[in-house]
Structure 1
Amino acid sequence: MRPTQPVPQEVVQQVADYFSVLGEPMRLRILNLLRDGEKCVQDLVEATETSQANVSKHLKVMLQAGILTRRTKGTLAYYGVEDDLVFELCTLVCDRLASRIEQQAKHFRAFSLTSEEGG
């Protein structure tokens, strides 16, 4: 077994930056809306029920991180997901959270049953 080599600080920082981009709820909502294909900014504004400035701010961050693509058609800007890996990552996290919640539910049910028996 090879000894673990220290990871360079700049690599760790880039990974942390990528996760921080995905750590914002509005960005996750936007990504979910883009799951079925690209959408124009106005569609995203309407679907998220927030301001265009707010949506544009989050789109810019994800575009700079390489998560999204942007194309213009006339006066409209369309955004799409550059790398579907982001959806795989979200699926892994959601599956893990669902498993934890299911485990917690089992504990609550077990507690509920034992407390009813004793009462």
Structure 2
Amino acid sequence: MPVPLYQAKAEFFRMLGHPVRIRVLELLQDGPLPVRELLAAIEVEPSALSQQLAVLRRSGIVTSSRDGTTVVYELAGGDVAQLMLAARRILTEVLSERTGLLETLHEGEGAAS
């Protein structure tokens, strides 16, 4: 029996649910990068980065290629970059609404004093 689409989407978002994986995807939006540059930008242990890259590779969201001894990663498709941009827009909107609410609450505290 095929997996329902909503379940496949939930598994996809769970796969994205790690800060190192998100950071890798953000960095790869501008094009392919070798592992050493990812390591320098993310500042995690090499084994931790390797583990997270393996998750992204198995999911098919990134691909890797070898150039001599250098392993280079890139996004598997442009839709991933669009997803990262959409997430940024959504978070910006949500946070600006919360900031507005906080400002309103603080203004109310001043009036109550």
TM-score, L = length of structure 2:
0.86
Q: CA deviation at 1:11?
A: 4.1
Percentage identity across paired residues of the two chains? 27
SS at match of 1:70: strand
Tell which has more relative contact order, 1 or 2 (C-alpha 8 A, sep 6+): 2
Residue in structure 1 matching 2:51, options 30, 54, 57: 57
Q: Which one-letter code corresponds to 1:86 in the other structure?
A: V
Q: CA deviation at 1:13?
A: 4.0
Gaps of 5+ in 2: none
TM-score, L = length of structure 1:
0.83
Q: Which one-letter code corresponds to 2:3 in the other structure?
A: Q
In the alignment of these two chains, the number of paired residues is 113
Instruction: Please give the alpha-carbon distance, in whole angstroms, between the structure 2 residues aligned to 1:27 and 1:13.
Output: 20
Q: Equivalent residue for 1:77?
A: 71
Two-structure CA RMSD over aligned residues (Å): 1.9
Gaps of 5+ in 1: 1-7
Instruction: Please give the alpha-carbon distance, in whole angstroms, between the structure 2 residues aligned to 1:118 and 1:15.
Output: 47
Q: Which one-letter code corresponds to 1:34 in the other structure?
A: L
Q: Equivalent residue for 1:96?
A: 90
The structure with more helix, counted as a fraction of residues:
2
Q: Which one-letter code corresponds to 2:40 in the other structure?
A: E
SS at match of 1:17: helix
